[in-house]
């Protein structure tokens, strides 16, 4: 399981979302054996956390453009994240 968690931490946002969508479809289909359902659900949780982490990182990098009195861009400042 540690290897699987390390694997998830290397995935891009797009790849993690793609895999998560596949897992959701399989679980919704209802044709997955119980043991496999539990395993892929756990992986889905790890993928969900990865996507949330990547989104938080992206939000932290978003800058708000500041302007001077004449309306010209004068720099950036961190986005207020609440």
Indicate the domain borders of the chain: 2-78
Question: 6 CB contacts (<8 Å, ≥6 apart)?
Answer: none
User: Per-residue pLDDT tens for 29-51?
Assistant: 999 999 999 999 999 999 999 99
| CA angle (80, 14, 64) in 5-degree steps | 20
Q: Between 79 and 8, whose confidence is greater? A: 8
Q: Between 75 and 7, whose confidence is greater? A: 7
| CA angle (9, 58, 44) in 5-degree steps | 35
Q: Which two tokens stand for residue 30?
A: 């209802």
Q: Which two tokens stand for residue 23?
A: 């897992």
The beta strand positions in the chain, using DSSP E, are 63-67, 73-78
């Amino acid at each position: 399981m540690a290897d699987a968690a390390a694997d998830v931490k290397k995935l891009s946002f797009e790849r993690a979302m793609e895999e998560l969508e596949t897992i959701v479809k399989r679980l919704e289909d209802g044709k997955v054996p119980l043991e496999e359902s539990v395993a892929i659900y756990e992986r889905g949780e790890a993928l969900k956390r990865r996507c949330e982490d990547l989104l938080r990182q992206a939000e932290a990098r978003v800058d708000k453009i500041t302007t001077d009195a004449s309306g010209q861009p004068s720099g950036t400042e961190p986005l207020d994240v609440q």
